[in-house]
Amino acid sequence: MVGCVSGDPLSDSEDDGPPGSERSSADALSVPSEVDCFYNARALGTCPPPVITSAYLGQRCAGTTGVFIVGHYLQSTNRFDANNGWLQHGPTAVSTRLTGDSWNEITPMHVCVTTSADASTWSGFAISVRNPDGQTSSTVTVQNRLTSTPQVPSSGSNDPFDPDVCMDPEMTLSQAVDHFAPGSDTAVLGRVSVRSRARGCNSVTGCAAWGASAAVDSPELALTTFGADQVHVAVNGRDCGRLGASAGSLNVCNPTFDPLAPPYLVHIAGACAHVYRTERSSVAANGNYTQTDYSGLIRY
């Protein structure tokens, strides 16, 4: 698994400081990665506290307006609300206006929850978060960024199951054109090695650890021209929609051509593409179900 991303605030503690403040190499290596802490903090017991670098009211929280909290070492409880669209549980928000541990989006580096676009209510207040392991972040003030649409951070790792692996801004039209040979109508970005992994879950007690992953698919991602000024995304030669048609992700056709399987989401960024989807079995009378994730990453 990957370690801290470049610029992680923990890296500052490795600089020379007052006597006795140094960390040994062994201590530095013992700090788990953000992804490991996200899924497995309770078992590890050695995860750093959460760090908030910004909080704001903005767009693109699961396609809506919401409050975002951005930082490092945010943790999931590995529990989902099966009765509310599989809403995810993670850090607990501590503030006078926003409380609770339910989020529309949750990754090691950001969480967000849907709110109205009322800046007088959902910005200008202090907030911190408390991770499921009990550690609490510092407090920051929620800013109003409804008009600027900040980009959530990307880890830049090579782990396809890292939720932040390719959060880079969506590929622009000019970036797409650079992939084409002059006069051509198709540019192949490459084949994506998609892997799957599963874990047993319970609607009350949450999910167990992930099992081993296995390769399951290798769809070809390509760009194709369309009309006078559009570029579309193609998966295994199948048109999956216009580049830039949505807020960062394309709900595309299923590369396996299995009509019973749900579609992949494909995020096409300037230098990477992420292919992913989640499947859940039906919930049994005792609350048990199985979650299976499919994920693949390509850089170009």
Q: Quickly state the pLDDT bin for 4 (edges 50, 70, 90).
A: very low
- pLDDT higher than 60, residue 2: no
Q: What is the mean pLDDT of the segment spanning 96-107?
A: 96
- pLDDT higher than 90, residue 23: no
Tell me: the pLDDT tens digits for 219-259? Answer: 899 999 998 889 999 988 888 888 877 655 555 566 665 66
Tell me the whole-structure pTM to 2 decimals: 0.84
Q: What is the mean pLDDT of the segment spanning 54-61?
A: 95
Using alpha carbons, list the distances in angstroms from residue 297 to 173, 226, 279, 280.
Answer: 21, 25, 18, 22
Tell me: the pLDDT tens digits for 156-191? Answer: 999 999 999 999 988 999 999 999 999 999 999 999
